[in-house]
């Protein structure tokens, strides 16, 4: 039966990659039992669902299609895994003042097709929705930014990069976040600059000096506790809301 053969092929791929069926199903943006249910499903799975799974597993969808029907082969499809992967919008990021950092419950994460960037294809990525207007010259409110944590990149932030910065509020012990452009001065101190046409957002936020062993692990915190300030993530892509141009 084609579905059983497909199930066996997927399980072989998962075993080689060290991924569970439930994890692959969820990360591909499908139901948690999508792969497991292939064994008992009589109808063929939808092509769009197979494409999502192929994208997540970073394989050619033709591997699946040839099992279901050797005469059905997709060639040069615009949604091929060579061009897109699926990531998730996991929360909002404030582009204005420090605001409590919140990550949405996992069931509220939104799957998002993301053009594959070969420079960063081996790093975990995530997406955030931009709120506020302190960065609206780069990212108008409602834009989506794609980011990678500096701890995964294994390096420090660099001048001119757009970054997600986290700080711990000493009064509430909660974490707050903001989206800004980073400047690292000669003395090691850090400025986080807005990019906005709003006159309320013209001055930078000044941070303590970056430590020589920083690499995304924080500033101003001792080794036994979480850092007080953390330049956490690098923005690598954005999908912007179209806005009116002033003539």
In this structure, are 135 and 170 located in the same domain? yes
Q: What is the pLDDT of residues 201-240, one digit of tens each?
A: 888 988 877 654 444 444 444 434 455 788 999 999 998 8
pLDDT of residue 29: 87
pTM over cut 0.85: no
Q: What is the pLDDT of residue 146?
A: 93
Query: For 27-36, 54-63, 82-91, which range has the lowest pLDDT when averaged over its residues?
Result: 82-91
Distances from the Cα of 98 to the Cαs of 102, 175, 188, 205, 237, in angstroms? 12, 9, 22, 10, 22
Q: Is the pLDDT of residue 124 over 70?
A: yes
CA distance 83 to 141: 27
Kindly state the percentage of the chain with pLDDT values over 90. Answer: 16
- Asked if 212 and 115 sit in the same domain, the reply is yes
Mean pLDDT of 148-156: 90
- Comparing 51 with 163, the larger pLDDT belongs to 163
Higher pLDDT, 173 or 220: 173
Residue numbers of the domain that contains 136: 85-239
Please give the pLDDT value at position 234.
Answer: 95
Based on the domain organization, do 48 and 155 belong to the same domain?
no
Question: Does some domain include residue 78?
Answer: no
Q: Average pLDDT, stretch 190-194?
A: 91
Confidence category of residue 193, pLDDT binned at 50, 70, 90: very high
Q: Are residues 166 and 107 in the same domain?
A: yes
Any domain includes 247: no
Per-residue pLDDT at 42 exceeds 90: no
Asked whether residue 21 carries a pLDDT value surpassing 60, the answer given is yes
More confident residue, 116 or 179: 179
Per-residue pLDDT tens over the stretch 63-106: 887 787 644 444 444 444 456 777 888 888 887 777 776 778 88
pLDDT band at 182 (very low <50, low <70, confident <90, very high): very high
The verdict on residue 76 lying in a domain is no
Q: Which of 233, 238, 166, 157 is nearest to 195 (CA)?
A: 238
In this predicted structure, what is the pLDDT of residue 74?
43
pLDDT class for 145, splitting at 50, 70, 90? very high
121: in domain: yes
Pairwise CA distance, residues 37 & 45, whole Å: 10
Q: Are 111 and 49 in contact (CB under 8 A)?
A: no
Name the domain boundary from 22, 37, 68: 68
Average pLDDT over residues 112-126: 81
Top-confidence residue, 214 or 245? 245
Whole-number pLDDT of residue 161? 95
Q: Are residues 100 and 163 in the same domain?
A: yes
List all residues 6 or more positions away from 72 whose beta carbon is below 8 Å from its beta carbon: 65
């Amino acid at each position: 039966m084609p579905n059983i053969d497909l199930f066996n092929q997927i399980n072989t791929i998962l075993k080689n990659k060290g991924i569970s069926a439930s994890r692959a199903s969820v990360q591909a943006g499908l139901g948690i039992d999508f792969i497991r249910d292939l064994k008992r499903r009589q109808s063929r799975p939808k092509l769009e669902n197979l494409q999502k799974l192929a994208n997540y597993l970073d394989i050619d969808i033709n591997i699946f299609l040839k099992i279901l029907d050797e005469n059905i082969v997709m060639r040069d499809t615009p949604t091929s895994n060579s061009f897109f992967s699926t990531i998730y919008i996991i929360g909002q990021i404030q582009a204005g003042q420090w605001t409590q950092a919140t990550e949405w419950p996992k069931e509220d994460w939104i799957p998002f097709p993301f053009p594959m960037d070969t420079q960063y294809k081996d790093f975990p990525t995530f997406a955030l929705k931009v709120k506020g207007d302190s960065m609206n010259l780069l990212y108008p409110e409602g834009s989506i930014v794609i980011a990678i944590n500096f701890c995964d990149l294994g390096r420090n932030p660099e001048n001119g990069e757009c970054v997600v910065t986290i700080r711990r509020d000493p009064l509430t012990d909660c974490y707050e976040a903001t989206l800004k452009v980073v400047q690292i001065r000669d003395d090691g101190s850090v400025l986080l600059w807005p990019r906005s046409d709003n006159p309320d957002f013209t001055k930078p936020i000044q941070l303590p000096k970056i430590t020589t062993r920083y690499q995304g692990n924080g500033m101003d915190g001792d080794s036994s506790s979480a850092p007080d300030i953390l330049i956490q993530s690098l923005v690598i892509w954005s999908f912007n809301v179209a806005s009116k141009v002033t003539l």
